[in-house]
Amino acid sequence: MPRPILATIHPQGLQHNLHRAQRAAPDARVWAVVKANAYGHGIERAFEGLRAADGFALLDLAEAERVRALGWRGPILLLEGVFESRDLELCSRLGLWHAVHCDEQIDMLAAHKTHQPHRVFLKMNSGMNRLGFPPARYRAAWARLNALPQVDEISFMTHFSDADSPRGIVHQLQVFNTTTDGLPGERSLSNSAAMLRHTAALEGTSGLRSDWVRAGILMYGSAPDFPEHSAAHWGLEPTMTLSSRVIGIQHLKAGDTVGYGSTFTAEGPLTIGVVACGYADGYPRHCSTGTPVLVDGVRTRMVGRVSMDMITVDLTPVPRAGVGTPVTLWGRAPGGTVLPIDEVAQAGGTVGYELMCAVAPRVPVVAD
């Protein structure tokens, strides 16, 4: 029997969350963001749940090829555009739309030989200071692109840095609005946090429409603004379950310690379960005593340090547990109880995004 750790992807959860995204932005088309191998879910497995999207957004050309190989004929957007000139050949061949965020990418387009003009998304740096043209140079970049025979339609995009927090999006929205004023073309704004938290700001009150929203983390059942709001608050369902089993039991007496560094000491008699899951599976090593875990669907806590291949859990709330008892590290337990990935991420000092992207290659993945 293989080691019992397993990641299970839930296509129905993806479908449900995509629908939630569509309801959050009813007038917009939805890019399903599937970068990083669909946030660790696997593009091929996630595709089944996300095929009702209007397009797929990603940034790795090999991933774009995989989406086309699945038979997807609709829009695919390269969020970071091309990295070198010959990437444009693949864009022409596969009909990929691509972001243009710097002068070098315009130079490459100007030198590109194609019979098929490209649809591009001109990216503005409206304050995040990652990719994009600064507002002062944005219209000149547009004019340059607009004069190229290699370019078909030009759309406008920007990315919000604080959609999940009090600073919000209005300052960036105003910059974007002012800078694009009067230019013809579709607009793409909004990550998950903006879609869930700032719908009013995007719906006309500012005079700004978003023709394409970019839904990422919400489709994967994690709340972009946890702990202020939970996935359940936003009506999202888990899309990935990481599960394993108890492989050993230890009976401790007062004063006994657990694991490397003896970071946990039993105050009295305590039964602990040893679970086949460790940091080499992608379980965050920064999780320590107190991190929630489900044993046979019952919520309990991790104790001691995360090892490479094992963690140890308090079995007090589940006295019936023994070797072979199912354990849910995050996601949905067999009985239906959910342990939100965001709670585990928080205990490890990180975010749900990182946990789902970091499930290790040695963990088998199946879809239910």
Q: Is 123 a catalytic residue?
A: no
With 0-12 / 13-18 / 19 or more C-beta atoms within 10 angstroms meaning exposed / middle / buried, residue 328 is buried
Q: Peptide bond preceding 227: is omega within 30 degrees of 0, i.e. cis? A: yes
Segment near ligand PLP (CB under 6 A); pick from 10-18, 70-78, 146-154, 208-216: 208-216
* Chosen residue from 126, 155, 191, 244 binding ligand PLP by CB under 6 A: 191
Segment near ligand PLP (CB under 6 A); pick from 4-12, 47-55, 133-141, 211-219: 211-219
* Chosen residue from 10, 214, 245, 305 binding ligand PLP by CB under 6 A: 214
Q: How far is the CB of 221 from ligand PLP (least distance, A)?
A: 12
Our finding on whether 224 is near ligand PLP (CB under 6 A) is yes
The answer to whether 245 touches 325, Cβ cutoff 8 Å, is yes
The Cα–Cα gap between 264 and 310 comes to 15
Our finding on whether 192 is near ligand PLP (CB under 6 A) is yes
Q: How far is the CB of 268 from ligand PLP (least distance, A)?
A: 44
Our finding on whether 216 is near ligand PLP (CB under 6 A) is yes
Our finding on whether 24 is near ligand PLP (CB under 6 A) is no
Task: Say what angle helices 11-24 and 43-50 make with each other, to 10 degrees.
Answer: 50
Q: Which of residues 124-183 bind ligand PLP (CB under 6 A)?
A: 159
The Cα–Cα gap between 358 and 281 comes to 8
In three-state secondary structure terms, 181 is: coil
Closest residue by Cα to residue 150 from 73, 85, 225, 195:
85
Our finding on whether 120 is near ligand PLP (CB under 6 A) is no
321 φ/ψ angles, rounded to the nearest 5 degrees: -65, 145
Q: What separation, in Å, do the N-terminal and C-terminal C-alpha atoms of the chain show?
A: 20
Strand 151-158 to strand 118-124: parallel, antiparallel, or no bridges (unpaired)?
A: parallel
Our finding on whether 79 is near ligand PLP (CB under 6 A) is yes
Catalytic residue among 35, 39, 220, 283: 35
Question: Which tokens is 282 given?
Answer: 């992608």
Q: How far is the CB of 163 from ligand PLP (least distance, A)?
A: 8
Segment near ligand PLP (CB under 6 A); pick from 135-143, 191-199, 255-263, 289-297: 191-199
Cα 137–chain centre separation? 31
Q: Is 113 a catalytic residue?
A: no
Q: How far is the CB of 261 from ligand PLP (least distance, A)?
A: 35
Cα 94 to Cα 10, 126, 248, distances in angstroms = 29, 30, 52
Catalytic residue among 39, 260, 283, 353: 260
Closest residue by Cα to residue 76 from 34, 20, 19:
34
Q: Which of residues 40-59 bind ligand PLP (CB under 6 A)?
A: none
Segment near ligand PLP (CB under 6 A); pick from 212-220, 323-331, 344-352, 360-368: 212-220
Which residues does the annotation mark as catalytic? 35, 260
Q: Which residues bind ligand PLP (CB under 6 A)?
A: 33, 35, 79, 159, 191-193, 214-217, 224
